[in-house]
Amino acid sequence: QVHMVESGGGLVQAGGSLRLSCAASGRRLSAYAMGWFRQAPGKEREFVAAITWSGGDTYYADSVKGRFTISRDNPKNSVYLQMNSLKPEDTAVYYCAADRRGASTIVRGTGLDYWGQGTQVTVSS
């Protein structure tokens, strides 16, 4: 049984920063692509960022490009999302995910192997 647990969410003012972490247990995910998604109230879940198993390639939604950075630490079985210059529209529950088929599958966001339970990020204006 794989568990992915996000942490690092919270309340921050617009323009501030947060760093989300996602730690996996139950299986080594070093061969899996990993990513982050978010879901705001009343909206569908949307892709935020993805990273290949090696960390050599990253992908971002246009809305976060230049402000967010995804990274991973395979020995720690973890993925991170550094969020800078936060805006009120970034307010959402953020989820991490992993899939053995690669980053392109993460970007599509459907049928992924593993999901975390989510962490709330609230950006005040």
Q: What is the pLDDT along the chain (125 residues), one digit of tens a residue?
A: 999 999 999 999 999 999 999 999 999 999 999 999 999 999 999 999 999 999 999 999 999 999 999 999 999 999 999 999 999 999 999 999 999 999 999 999 999 999 999 999 999 99
Distances (CA, A) of 99 to 17, 65, 102, 109, 122: 27, 22, 6, 10, 27
Query: Tell me: the pLDDT tens digits for 62-73?
Result: 999 999 999 999
Query: Tell me: the pLDDT tens digits for 97-113?
Result: 999 999 999 999 999 99
Find all residues with CB under 8 Å of 29, minimum gap 6, and list them: 2, 74, 77, 98, 114
Q: 87 near 123, Cβ under 8 Å?
A: yes
